[in-house]
Structure 1
């Protein structure tokens, strides 16, 4: 034994000296990202379309500040003083239909700006806070909300009238009713003894009854909130209706995350999210009829399929399923430009249905215009979530609505005629649409799509009622466009696979040449030749072609080992031709390739960018196709890239950490080692919004949770496992890996270790933590995947 202990370091030294080298190191690449340079974000235009503002950091400030470029002097980047920045963001500014007029609040006055004449007029003074300042359908009228009530200002008469009467509180009890209330002994005796006092009291009661009877007949309608929490107050553009939402929060138990390094010196608890299976928050919509002086609520009982049971109930034949109306969330209403119509989006809490409905404003009834049913879950680009959002609105004709749907398997843009019910697809094909917006002249759409390639994003123009799309951007990669107010120019945040984001400007026409405005890479960063990873596809066992990024080593340095990276978030795309949000991992993959490793980064089933079937491929079985895609990736590395069987590792964070655990617990014959970072180990302990979409709830669908949670498969661990987790993780709680660690201990498993990070949340912040974690990952791979070379 002593000879072995003495001899092993000698072999390791010989082995280390024979390894391929890299100019990169973990400490080097995991420094504060500022070493890479400065890169722009969040651009927007000045109102005259002559300047571009963006977040930047030329002066090494603690955080990015606001900078600007004047297009008349495109080579000059200047920092914006806080006083100028304050002026740029006019409070509550809103425009009329053709954007020739703008209204906004300036201190206590409401200002009207004529943008063509370049004049400014004070409309009126208002000393209380206001919101929802807007032009009405008749643009001579301006409405606003103040103190939970709506007011309308008439620009011709200069009059302001209050159009709603909403009182936060309960309706007061009738004073007349109090007159008959039980009186005290002393008052009773006094009235019985003194005739004059008794007569005056009777006269007072009669007078009060008369006044109350007259007031009841002549007083205005008052809506008392009765303790309800009103939000999203809106006034219809024609001034006929006001609407509001009533939000009732659910009472769900939150979890606690201990902070052992709190500044107080005491262990303090962080109050964090509930676990999956929570009760829903409830939202209903109220309608205030301003002509009839009455309030009523939107009814949902006539929605088609509101009582439909999910398909998975067939897996539980022993259980009796109650047929009842499902819990719903409502968003809207969204009023037509003329104010005559409104639509409401309704989603089932189980997220298997989305109804787009027309609201009958006089009765509160809903008429279904489009129902999107998905036995997995309704989602996708532009489709929004449980509380609305996404692409939804009206065309200027107040007859057609637009929205996005995955009805063809990819998220596309649709029009629907609310009078005839006719639905028309404006885009189609095996690609997805992002952020469609109507041009100012109301004749065109501007939209971004992945039509060229799933790994590219380009900006297009298309006729309003559909037709040929005109591609405006040309640079290969990601083109994130902000259109100038005059719609003559594009501000573009552009990046490529090995080129971080820079700011460009381009004329708004096809074929125009983009001009680069920023160049932020540091000399240090540019000194290394960063790889442009190959985009490849390999066959999955079910016949699908799985996209991946491939990093190849120099053939002379190739060591026969490979590492598979699993991106986090599940629904995220990392196989593309632009600068990755996983830039640290990207640099680490360059380091691995320098050392002779082949690296594969897979957009497995559930990843974004490939349509509905890819997105929902993990429904009711996380660790199913998403895991088999990793196994098939390993087979591809062996068959097509010359990687040695038995020398493949895997790693990833969050969802990637979960997949790493499932890989080592279920496919120890394929993966020799793995690093599971901030990993989910039991989906019953994760949040509701994400997990319930994919696995339903643990109470209703325990089969899905049992086959999807790594903690139930820990007995299968064969290889070498590193677990790393931040102790302040309020997303995937540290409790996850604590429970798994105890399970591994009880199973008597060897060859695993755990690294904890006491001051880190889910996403690490400190460079020292990043460096420590990735040095452990590199050591794991070097000592386990390359040990056969000793």
Structure 2
């Protein structure tokens, strides 16, 4: 069965094809909502606005009407730029970030101030740039990390207290995470305030034995500069982590004994309402998660353990109820579902069930005793919004359009803002009632973009499934608007294919989709197939690639290409494939192992040898190279360069702190020594995203020209 999503584009005006310049100068950008923060009353929200006079203001709006109610603070008032802000729990104080210098993907050094919304007084937290500043629950203190040590400022007395003294750059970290935790556990702030504001729990990272990685930053000076940081590659030493409790009243620090004899990760810290600290601890294999409770005095005990033959995913899907019981998500029945546990860690009931995944857990409303979530109940390429009672009854579907729905709920779950899009509808933002999903008002639509697109050749996506190696794989196809089934067309396959990912989804076009449409209307058919190992078809489907990343995914892409080549309107001799990051690893493998199928491949920022990538990600799926050498070597493209027959373009940024340019450099050397001709490009001082200025325009024009020349 094939389902085509056609964008109405009939017009008397001659349509022009999209260009790379159109895409990357914002010609097709969508209208959206600025990030908003719900106030405690659930009736109003705040938005950081950037105004016509280049000032910034934090403004208050009514959910019901969308009208601005008040301005809480303006950069003109405080004579400082407002880059970001955060309210104290009682909403009397605002933490303002006036300067932000990024470190890695999620972290930054920031200049932080506290603004009293009643007295209009502005206090500087530190005269230096700090990391991960946060209010205490009582709003009387602000903690932060400076040069790998934790501090807090008493906002009542103005005194600053240094909590730790042993932090040393590139040696020992307190309160924020190392590179690999930030990248793979999406965790930056590694400390938490207790509910009574009398204790700070934090993780320490002893990086002493972690190998250093260095890369040159060229800049514009006479000499380049080395950038050195700790990066544990697969099988190498990780930071030694410790769990610590700091008591503010006695000014004492205590190390918590977790009674573990093997290496471990501390992936999450959360305080329960009763003051106990909940700690999620993984073994190095990441297939056993122990959920600890730690008493305020430092006594630790395991409340429950979750095990998996492959790995246990770490999420933020944890909500404590007033009695200490909690909601939690798990894949233990093959699908990700919501469970209720009692305060002791005993499972009370499974809340959601069925052959579909909970894809986002939005939270719990203690008044109505209802849980809100997003799921794939409308099919794995779609997302819908639902609520269900704490007793696992009376489930309600809140969204009413097929496609991708996501929700942002007000704090008291009175309203939510629904973001809807599909492959034929750009994002539409509406205000809806949480109790029944009824739309209150439309906030923003993108009808102007749809009108604009009538002047362009924009090809639709046709969604279907392709039975490959015994599995129905999700697929979309983009054909030229003047497609003629009696002709033969070259095919460019696009994919990412990483564990748990999804590239085939019923959602609005991104930059790559516009580029693919451009290629389609230049005479190509673009196809995307999500192979085994990708997400939202059950844990067994996702985890089949365990210990062999790049085996089944590559087999599926090669076989899918073979089957596509059997179609009457596809030229089997002109099938190409491209991808970025994991997708670049895949496209490299495909042109090597599938050299009788693929004639052309582009790999952007690829992993070329899993031995070069980090511990947490790689070992989650592959264990260590010492224990699984064949899994690493038999699936790394660098070991198959002698099989290159087709046209291959290799691209990387020289300042990629994630997938190091080492991957591409050693791949180049291997290809040279195998006497294989290929094309390559290095973008100086560009990270994993390879962007900035005209960089994306240059890159995509280079790829376009490569495809037109070789495919």
Shorter-chain TM-score: what band? 0.7 to 0.9
Shift of 1:570: 4.9
- The answer to whether residue 363 in structure 2 is matched with residue 427 in structure 1 is no
Q: Deviations over 1:531-583 (max 9, x none)?
A: 44122111121x12111222133332853321110127554322111125xx2
Alignment of 1:388-427 (within 5 A): 390-398=316-324, 400-419=325-344, 421-427=346-352
Distance in 2, Cα, partners of 1:66 & 1:328: 42
Distance in 1, Cα, partners of 2:591 & 2:82: 57
Contact 2:489–2:571, Cα closer than 8 Å, also in 1: yes
- The answer to whether residue 16 in structure 2 is matched with residue 23 in structure 1 is yes
SS at match of 2:489: coil
Distance in 1, Cα, partners of 2:580 & 2:503: 13
Contact 2:246–2:253, Cα closer than 8 Å, also in 1: yes
Contact 1:473–1:510, Cα closer than 8 Å, also in 2: no
Contact 1:604–1:626, Cα closer than 8 Å, also in 2: yes
Distance in 1, Cα, partners of 2:683 & 2:143: 48
- The answer to whether residue 270 in structure 2 is matched with residue 343 in structure 1 is no
- Is the deviation greater in 271-280 or in 630-639? 271-280
Shift of 1:491: 1.6
Shift of 1:767: 6.3
Out of 111, 133, 154, which is 2:136 matched to?
133
Q: Which residue of 1 aligns with 2:483?
A: 555
- Is the deviation greater in 282-291 or in 645-654? 282-291
Q: Which residue of 1 aligns with 2:191?
A: 232
Contact 1:404–1:414, Cα closer than 8 Å, also in 2: yes
Alignment of 1:358-507 (within 5 A): 358-359=293-294, 364-369=299-304, 371-379=305-313, 383-384=314-315, 390-398=316-324, 400-419=325-344, 421-433=346-358, 434-441=360-367, 443-507=369-433
Out of 720, 723, 727, which is 2:647 matched to?
720
Out of 604, 607, 618, which is 2:534 matched to?
607
Alignment of 1:684-703 (within 5 A): 684-703=611-630
Out of 732, 735, 738, which is 2:662 matched to?
735
Cα distance change, pair 242–74 in 1 and its aligned pair in 2 (3 A): closer
Distance in 2, Cα, partners of 1:635 & 1:609: 25
Out of 250, 257, 265, which is 1:329 matched to?
265
Distance in 2, Cα, partners of 1:636 & 1:519: 39
After TM superposition, the score normalised by the length of structure 2 is 0.77
Contact 2:488–2:569, Cα closer than 8 Å, also in 1: no
Contact 1:605–1:629, Cα closer than 8 Å, also in 2: yes
Shift of 1:417: 2.0
Q: CA RMSD in A?
A: 4.4
Q: Which residue of 2 aligns with 1:93?
A: 88
Alignment of 1:27-38 (within 5 A): 27-33=20-26, 36-38=29-31
Q: Which residue of 1 aligns with 2:523?
A: 596
Alignment of 1:71-90 (within 5 A): 81-82=74-75
Distance in 2, Cα, partners of 1:74 & 1:360: 45
Distance in 2, Cα, partners of 1:562 & 1:344: 49
Q: Which residue of 2 aligns with 1:637?
A: 564
Alignment of 1:43-58 (within 5 A): 43-45=36-38
Q: Deviations over 1:88-139 (max 9, x none)?
A: 99865115xxxxxx664799x99999xxxxxx899xx99999965336xxxx
Out of 195, 202, 214, which is 1:256 matched to?
214
Q: Deviations over 1:447-473 (max 9, x none)?
A: 222222222222222212322321112
Distance in 1, Cα, partners of 2:95 & 2:700: 52
- The answer to whether residue 576 in structure 2 is matched with residue 649 in structure 1 is yes
Q: Which residue of 1 aligns with 2:226?
A: 269
Cα distance change, pair 234–621 in 1 and its aligned pair in 2 (3 A): same
Contact 2:211–2:237, Cα closer than 8 Å, also in 1: no
SS at match of 2:212: coil
Out of 694, 701, 705, which is 1:775 matched to?
701
Q: Which residue of 1 aligns with 2:103?
A: none
Out of 39, 46, 51, which is 2:32 matched to?
39
Out of 276, 287, 292, which is 1:357 matched to?
292
After TM superposition, the score normalised by the length of structure 1 is 0.70
Q: Which residue of 2 aligns with 1:221?
A: none
Shift of 1:269: 2.6
- Is the deviation greater in 450-459 or in 485-494? 485-494
Cα distance change, pair 619–590 in 1 and its aligned pair in 2 (3 A): same
* Residues paired across the two proteins, number: 640
Shift of 1:296: 5.6
Shift of 1:620: 1.9
Distance in 1, Cα, partners of 2:249 & 2:221: 59
- Is the deviation greater in 444-453 or in 328-337? 328-337
Cα distance change, pair 143–345 in 1 and its aligned pair in 2 (3 A): farther
- The answer to whether residue 671 in structure 2 is matched with residue 744 in structure 1 is yes
SS at match of 1:590: helix
Contact 2:554–2:589, Cα closer than 8 Å, also in 1: yes
Distance in 2, Cα, partners of 1:591 & 1:56: 35
Q: Which residue of 2 aligns with 1:574?
A: 503
Q: Deviations over 1:585-606 (max 9, x none)?
A: 1012112222332221122233
- Is the deviation greater in 564-573 or in 664-673? 564-573
Cα distance change, pair 593–55 in 1 and its aligned pair in 2 (3 A): farther
Q: Which residue of 1 aligns with 2:608?
A: 681
Contact 1:40–1:502, Cα closer than 8 Å, also in 2: no
Contact 1:29–1:588, Cα closer than 8 Å, also in 2: no
Alignment of 1:293-304 (within 5 A): 297-301=255-259
Shift of 1:75: 9.0
Cα distance change, pair 30–256 in 1 and its aligned pair in 2 (3 A): farther
Shift of 1:45: 3.8
SS at match of 1:358: strand
Distance in 1, Cα, partners of 2:67 & 2:125: 45
Shift of 1:65: 8.8
Q: Deviations over 1:728-754 (max 9, x none)?
A: 33322223222222221211223x222
Cα distance change, pair 722–127 in 1 and its aligned pair in 2 (3 A): closer
Unaligned 5+ runs, structure 1: 1-20, 96-101, 114-119, 136-141, 154-158, 171-226, 307-324, 385-389, 786-790
Structure with greater Cα Rg: 1
